[in-house]
């Protein structure tokens, strides 16, 4: 008997899926990489301008280096003969005439005599100072001095003068004998004192001056108008000197009341300084006058030498007539003048990416001088920061007229200065 057989049916097995193609994955990676590179490049392109610091602002000065006081320059009425020089203290020279040849200066010499005495023996205002006694020999010389026609004050042996009184005798009635007495009192001898006079002249830069005596009687004592102005400016800085030369009279031992030979004192603001006259020198005058300008006192200093005349009265009259127009011209010329006005542009400021502002004067600047005078203008502007507010103080402008003191004023900014934004920097770079 046959066993029955079991029949097994097998299900067909599906084939495996085909493998993914590696090319599709590579393409995706390539596209992604390119996208990343593009994004990175764009980022780098945008950030690049921000990696570098902004350039510093450039400041360009627009104010001139010099300016001229407007108006017609003064015409100085110089004397037709001799020499003259005219100066305004703290401002400058109005000029000279007659050249620089050294000439006799007569009793103008006594300005140096008094200056040396006061430098060696200073006096305060009103102070009498030490005493000196006239010796028998000095008193005995008086008759011979008088016979020569010298300018003198009477003295006697044993007469006592204070330093101030002796200087008054020298500077007001122009006493030759007291100039010699003072010289010997200070230096031990007239000769030694004259050495001091010449040494002082050299120190002051009086290049064309030479002294041979303390009175000026000797015609070999010579100088120039320019040199005498140098000395006069220094002498007027001494309080006692300025006090004495401004006096119209004084009371002295033996002589009593003496008058100042300088008849201009008290007229046209004249406050000194010293007359001189000899046949060789002619009429001479070193002078000072004080005028008020803009609420302040200004001193005019000048010298006129070599005015002709047959005798002392004529010589002095002519030197006075030559001097008064000089004083009046200088006084009329001096004024206070605006040289920089509030708001005047001084500089421009150019910042990065077309940012800009201006710098201007914050106030008026006034100088003392006369029309036609040159004025130097100096500007100091600190480095400009990235941010600068409007109307902020920033720098200084200084004006100097002639020999005057500097006059300074603040500078201010115009519109506000700000650095460009990041977006502006990026956009400008595109």
- Band the pLDDT of 299: cuts 50, 70, 90: very high
Active site residues: 107, 110, 174
Beta carbons of 273 and 232 less than 8 angstroms apart? yes
Residues 216, 230, single domain; the answer is: yes
Q: How far apart are CA 379 and CA 99, in angstroms?
A: 38
Residues 302, 354, single domain; the answer is: no
- The stretch 81-105 carries a mean pLDDT of 97
- pLDDT tens-digit readout, 193-229: 999 999 999 999 999 999 999 999 999 999 999 999 9
Beta carbons of 87 and 304 less than 8 angstroms apart? no
Q: How high is the pLDDT of residue 36?
A: 66
Could you say which of 276, 309, 333 is where a domain stops? 333
- The stretch 374-392 carries a mean pLDDT of 92
Q: How high is the pLDDT of residue 422?
A: 55
Q: Does residue 2 surpass a pLDDT of 90?
A: no
| Structural domain that includes position 377 | 58-70+338-429
Q: How high is the pLDDT of residue 356?
A: 87
- Band the pLDDT of 51: cuts 50, 70, 90: low
**34 within a domain of the structure (yes/no):** no
**87 within a domain of the structure (yes/no):** no
Residues 227, 346, single domain; the answer is: no
Q: How high is the pLDDT of residue 6?
A: 44
Residues 315, 350, single domain; the answer is: no
Q: How high is the pLDDT of residue 386?
A: 82
**410 within a domain of the structure (yes/no):** yes
Could you say which of 313, 333, 353 is where a domain stops? 333
Spatial neighbors of 410 by CB under 8 A, at least 6 apart, are: 362, 363, 393, 395, 396
Strands (E) in 231-295, as ranges, are 249-252, 256-259, 270-278, 282-293
Q: How high is the pLDDT of residue 207?
A: 97
Residues 217, 307, single domain; the answer is: yes
**81 within a domain of the structure (yes/no):** no
- Band the pLDDT of 164: cuts 50, 70, 90: very high
Average pLDDT, the chain: 90
**Is the torsion defined by CA of 185, 187, 193, 198 positive or negative?**
negative
Q: Does residue 32 surpass a pLDDT of 70?
A: no
Q: How high is the pLDDT of residue 5?
A: 42
Q: Does residue 152 surpass a pLDDT of 50?
A: yes
- The stretch 368-378 carries a mean pLDDT of 96
Q: How high is the pLDDT of residue 430?
A: 52
For tokens 């004080």, name the residue: 290
Q: Does pTM top 0.85 for this prediction?
A: no
Q: How high is the pLDDT of residue 352?
A: 78
**286 within a domain of the structure (yes/no):** yes
């Amino acid at each position: 008997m046959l066993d029955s057989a079991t029949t097994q049916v097998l299900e067909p097995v599906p084939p495996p899926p085909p493998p993914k193609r590696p090319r599709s994955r590579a393409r995706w990676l390539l596209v992604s990489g390119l996208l990343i590179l593009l994004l990175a490049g764009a980022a780098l392109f945008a950030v690049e301008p921000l990696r570098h610091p902004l350039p510093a602002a450039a400041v360009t000065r627009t104010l001139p280096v010099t300016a001229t006081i407007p108006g017609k320059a003064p015409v100085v009425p110089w004397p037709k003969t001799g020499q003259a020089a005219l100066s305004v203290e703290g401002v400058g020279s109005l000029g000279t005439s007659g050249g620089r040849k050294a000439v006799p200066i007569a009793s103008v010499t006594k300005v140096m005599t008094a200056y040396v005495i006061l430098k060696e023996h200073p006096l305060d205002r009103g102070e009498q100072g030490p005493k000196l006694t006239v010796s028998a020999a000095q008193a005995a010389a008086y008759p011979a001095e008088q016979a020569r026609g010298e300018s003198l004050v009477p003295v006697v042996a044993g007469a006592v003068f204070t330093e101030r009184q002796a200087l008054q005798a020298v500077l007001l009635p122009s006493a030759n004998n007291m100039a010699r007495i003072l010289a010997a009192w200070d230096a031990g001898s007239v000769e030694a004192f004259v050495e001091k006079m010449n040494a002082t002249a050299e120190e002051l830069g009086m290049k064309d001056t030479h002294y041979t005596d303390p009175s000026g009687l000797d015609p070999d004592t010579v100088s120039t108008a320019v040199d005498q102005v140098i000395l006069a400016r220094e002498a007027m800085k001494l309080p006692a000197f300025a006090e004495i030369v401004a006096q119209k009279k004084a009371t002295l031992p033996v002589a009593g009341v003496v008058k100042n030979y300088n008849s201009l004192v008290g007229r046209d603001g004249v406050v000194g300084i010293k007359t001189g006259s000899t046949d060789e020198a002619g009429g001479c005058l070193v002078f000072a006058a004080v005028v008020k300008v803009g609420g302040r006192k200004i001193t005019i200093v000048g010298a006129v030498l070599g005015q002709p005349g047959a005798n002392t009265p004529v010589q002095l009259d002519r030197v006075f007539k030559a001097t008064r127009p000089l004083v009046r011209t200088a006084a009329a010329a001096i004024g206070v003048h605006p040289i920089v006005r509030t708001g005047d542009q001084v500089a421009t400021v150019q910042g990065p990416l077309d940012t800009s502002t201006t710098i201007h004067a914050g106030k008026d600047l006034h100088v003392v001088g006369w029309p036609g005078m040159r004025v130097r203008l100096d500007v100091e502007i600190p480095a400009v920061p990235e941010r600068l507010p409007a109307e902020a103080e920033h720098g200084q402008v200084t004006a100097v007229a002639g020999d005057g003191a500097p006059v300074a004023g603040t500078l201010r900014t115009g519109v506000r200065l700000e650095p460009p934004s990041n977006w502006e920097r990026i956009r400008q770079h595109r």
